[in-house]
Amino acid sequence: MSNSWERPKINIKKTKNEWIWDIIGYSFYFGSIIFLIAVWNRLPEEVPGHFNASGEVDRWGSKWELLILPGIGAFILLFLQTLEKFPQFHNYPHRFNQSNAKQFYLNSRKLMNQLKNTCLIVFALILFESISIALEWGNGFGKWFLPIAVICTIIPIVTGIMRQKKIK
């Protein structure tokens, strides 16, 4: 059963954990957009456009560039939401079969859900950081933001792989 077109389509209800992740991720994402709209007229013409690995602003740009972050978030949301909805098209090991398909699908779907929402949170935080620096509310998150963001993105992948290895 290696061909993804031959895999069974199984309707698995969203778990409570997935709903919680969605509520948190979507709240951060839409909250950051609402926040951007609320402060738009107070933003200076130049805002942080890029941060280096230490979390310092290394390029300033137009405040219109801030719209890129919600745009990327929307793309990630739509793309990963689509992948989450169709787990039968994900890549699985050779031991995948009819009897363990539901377990593989649920594990893979949870991974997509966590990655989607982690990315939404990270992009919302970057937007908030850019706005707060532009409005001189603070210096931003600093050098710990990038490592924490990377770790928070890697953790769901590692745990998903570990859960997948336990599926017989």
The predicted structure's pLDDT at residue 56:
86
The predicted structure's pLDDT at residue 48:
93
- Is 107 part of any domain? yes
- Number of structural domains the chain divides into: 1
- Is 67 part of any domain? yes
The predicted structure's pLDDT at residue 123:
94
- Is 103 part of any domain? yes
The predicted structure's pLDDT at residue 3:
61
pLDDT in tens, the chain (168 residues): 456 667 888 889 999 999 999 999 999 999 999 999 999 999 999 999 988 888 888 899 999 999 999 999 999 999 999 999 999 998 898 899 989 999 999 999 999 999 999 999 999 999 999 999 999 998 878 888 889 999 999 999 999 999 999 998
Expressed as residue numbers, the domain containing 160 is: 22-165
Bridge partner list, 57: 51
